């Protein structure tokens, strides 16, 4: 397989390269592409130095697949050019997620929907992925009717500039800022831009992507908050189900779900935390408890590394799936 990573020098690009090296995927040739300021620099892959090339140069190569993680504008411009040459594009940006002609894929949930004609495949938003990894098995058995979710999102979701801002504020030095306000020792109740309905784009991604992937009939209300941590996103989720449930059955269901790890032992202070999810591919769920204020309702606390399962790992799982099915040219 010949593979290109578009946006190889970004936070997600770096993790894609790391995860590819961890997994036993045969890659004959790999190409790293980035912006002009990174061209001719080198990145290491399996002990070899690979020189970074331009996206245009990557397009000239004989490729089977390309993983894009360079933002919406780059994906909108370049993904169709790659797919037109028969390259399977897996895109981490928001460019294609709500395009009716493109599939939005979490392999454990709806990977089976893919076929050989899917040449641009959208990777969902990081917060959506970890939420639906836990909601999907519950929905299949008990039918979720309503979701209220509050997210507590790592600054890594904003990029390297946000990490630099946090570090600079901690050291009390000036520098470029990702956020209007101080993030050190603070939380900011805004992820992405506000839109006309009073919600942010991030909050509406949780709504719209859930409807596309899982079920358009689920009522969803979301609040997304930026927190000064590195290591993963956290979500407090309240669910209302159509059918009655036993709490132990919910726990067993989640424990037997691929890619989900239950950490739920309050008596021993065991519950998911971003410090422990950092660098791992699983989605961790705990604080599983009945909501006594509303019939057939429960609460979950969900944590996952947003750069791995929330981005890089999910994209690579899509790549593994299409490769295993013989969908690559």
Residue positions annotated with a catalytic role = 126, 233
Structure tokens at 20: 């590819």
Structure tokens at 124: 């969902």
Cβ–Cβ < 8 Å for 151, 185: no
Are β-strands 297-304 and 283-290 bridged in parallel, bridged antiparallel, or unpaired?
Answer: antiparallel
**22 φ, ψ (degrees, to nearest 5):** -75, -30
Q: Could you give the C-alpha distances from 244 to 106, 216, 218, in angstroms and in order?
A: 27, 21, 17
Structure tokens at 84: 């037109």
Q: Measured over all CA atoms, what is the biggest interatomic distance in the chain, rounded to whole angstroms? A: 60
Burial 204-235 (b: 16+ CB within 10 A, else e): bbbbbbbebbbeeebebebbbebbbbbbbbbb
Say which residue the tokens 């504020």 belong to: 169
Give which of 40, 43, 32 is closest to 70, Cα–Cα.
32
**62 φ, ψ (degrees, to nearest 5):** -85, 100
CA distance 238 to 150: 9
**E strands in 38-110:** 42-45, 48-51, 65-68, 88-91, 103-104
Q: Which residues, listed in sequence order, are joined to residue 145 by a DSSP beta bridge? A: none
Q: Could you give the C-alpha distances from 317 to 23, 110, 204, 322, in angstroms and in order?
A: 10, 12, 25, 9
């Amino acid at each position: 397989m010949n593979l290109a990573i578009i946006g190889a020098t970004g936070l997600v690009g770096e993790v894609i390269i790391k995860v590819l090296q961890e997994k036993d995927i045969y890659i004959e040739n790999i190409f790293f592409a980035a912006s002009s300021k990174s061209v001719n620099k080198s990145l290491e892959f399996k002990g070899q130095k690979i020189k970074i090339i331009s996206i245009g140069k990557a397009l000239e190569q004989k490729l089977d697949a390309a993983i894009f993680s360079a933002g919406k504008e780059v994906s909108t411009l370049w993904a169709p050019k790659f797919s037109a040459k028969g390259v399977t594009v897996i895109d981490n940006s928001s460019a294609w997620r709500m395009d009716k002609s493109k599939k939005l894929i979490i392999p454990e949930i709806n990977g089976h929907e893919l076929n050989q004609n899917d040449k641009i495949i959208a990777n969902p938003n990081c917060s959506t992925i970890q939420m639906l990894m836990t909601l999907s098995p519950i929905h299949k058995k008990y039918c979720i009717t309503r979701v209220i979710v509050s997210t507590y999102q790592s600054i890594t979701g904003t990029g390297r500039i946000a990490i630099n801002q946090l570090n600079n504020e901690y050291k009390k030095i000036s520098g470029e800022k990702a956020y209007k306000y101080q993030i050190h020792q603070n939380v900011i109740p805004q992820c992405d831009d506000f839109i006309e309905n009073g919600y942010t784009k991030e909050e509406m991604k949780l709504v719209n992507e859930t409807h596309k992937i899982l079920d358009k009939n689920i009522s969803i209300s979301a609040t997304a908050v930026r927190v000064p941590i590195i290591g993963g996103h956290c979500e407090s989720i309240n669910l209302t189900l159509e059918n009655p449930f036993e709490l132990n059955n919910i726990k067993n269901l989640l424990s037997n779900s691929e890619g989900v790890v239950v950490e739920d032992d309050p008596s021993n202070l065991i519950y998911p935390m971003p410090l422990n999810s950092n660098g791992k591919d699983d989605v961790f769920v705990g604080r599983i408890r009945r909501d006594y204020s509303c019939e057939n309702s429960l609460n979950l606390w969900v944590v996952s590394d947003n750069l791995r399962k929330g981005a890089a790992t999910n994209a690579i799982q899509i790549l593994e799936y299409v490769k295993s099915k013989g969908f690559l040219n």
